[in-house]
Structure 1
Amino acid sequence: MQFPDDDNGKMLAAMADAGIDLTKALDVDFFLVFDDQRDAESAAQELAQSELEGEMELHLNDEVGKWELIVCVNMVPQYDAIVEQEMELNTFAAEFGGATDGWGVMQHQEGDDEFADDDHECSDDCKH
């Protein structure tokens, strides 16, 4: 697969190189950052009432000292769709004094049970 030579294209190329199937819907996490907690909470509240289908998580990122709103959208990770979603979220975040700060995908998605039980020790009876 060919991808544009920008951050989004490089991320998608790395995902493809890692064996992630980019033709299937994945949970894509978009990161929105805010300096002020009230702005972040207001953005989260408004986004929760919008038509955006996805899950959200808000927390203080101690490493950068900013409030981070993670918006998880289940989508096929196509370049144009990623760019469009990121631009929409950036415009939205700007209304609350924030901005997008990239996106990512957890490599182990639903149905991937490789790490389902970290305490499990294999025995002769295991069938995996």
Structure 2
Amino acid sequence: MQFPDDDNGKMLEAMADAGIDLSAALDVDFFLVFEDQRDAESALEELGKSDLEGEIELLLNDESGKWELIVCLNMVPEYDTIVEQEISLHEFAQEFGGVTDGWGVMQHQEGDDDFADDAHECGDDCKH
């Protein structure tokens, strides 16, 4: 499979090389970064009101001291779709003084289940 020679293309190529099925829908995390907590919270509130179908989470990055808004979208990771979503989110973030800072996909790693909480009972809000 051929990928464009840019950061997004390289990321998709690395995912394919790692054996990830790029034809299946995956949870793709897009990262929006804000200097100011109030700007990040305003962006979070506005996204919550939008028709965006995904999960959003706001956290303080201890290393950078910046606020990260993580937008998780379940989607097929096609190059054009990724680029379109990045542009859209970047324009959105700029309205609140933020910028986008890439995207990624969490992979199931060998041993991930070793620390699973067997006593956990799923409720209506569970995402697994």
TM-score interval, smaller chain: 0.7 to 0.9
Structure 1 113/14 Cα, relative in aligned 2: closer, same or farther at 3 Å?
closer
Structure 2 residue aligned with 1:39: 39
What's the counterpart of residue 71 of structure 1?
71
Distance 2:33 2:112 in 1: 30
Q: 1:41 to 1:116 in 2, by over 3 A?
A: same
**Match of residue 116, structure 1, among 113, 117, 122:** 113
Local SS of the residue matching 1:51: coil
Structure-to-structure mapping, 1:1-128, within 5 angstroms: 1-108=1-108, 115-118=112-115
Cα-to-partner distance string for 1:39-84 (whole Å, 9 max, x where unaligned): 0000000001101100011011011111000000000000000000
Residue identity matched to 2:19: G
- Number of residue pairs aligned between Structure 1 and Structure 2: 117
TM-superposition CA deviations, 1:9-53 (whole Å, max 9, x none): 000000000000000000000000000000000000000110110
Please, what is the CA RMSD of the aligned residues?
Answer: 1.8
Give the percent of matched residue pairs that are identical in Structure 1 and Structure 2. Answer: 76
Q: Deviations over 1:72-108 (max 9, x none)?
A: 0000000000000000000000000001000000012
**Structure 1 ranges of 4+ moved more than 4 A:** none
Aligned partners of 2:31 and 2:23: how far apart in 1?
22
Cα distance, 1:113 vs structure 2: 8.9
Letter aligned with residue 118 of structure 1: F
Secondary structure at the counterpart of residue 117 of structure 1? helix
> Which amino acid counterpart does residue 7 of structure 1 have in structure 2?
D
Structure 1 position 117, deviation (Å): 3.4
Q: Could you tell me the TM-score, scaled by structure 2's length?
A: 0.87
Q: Return 5+ residue gaps in structure 2 as ranges.
A: 117-128
SS for the counterpart of 1:100 is strand
Normalised TM-score (structure 1):
0.87
User: Could you tell me how far apart the structure 1 residues matched to 2:34 and 2:49 are?
Assistant: 19
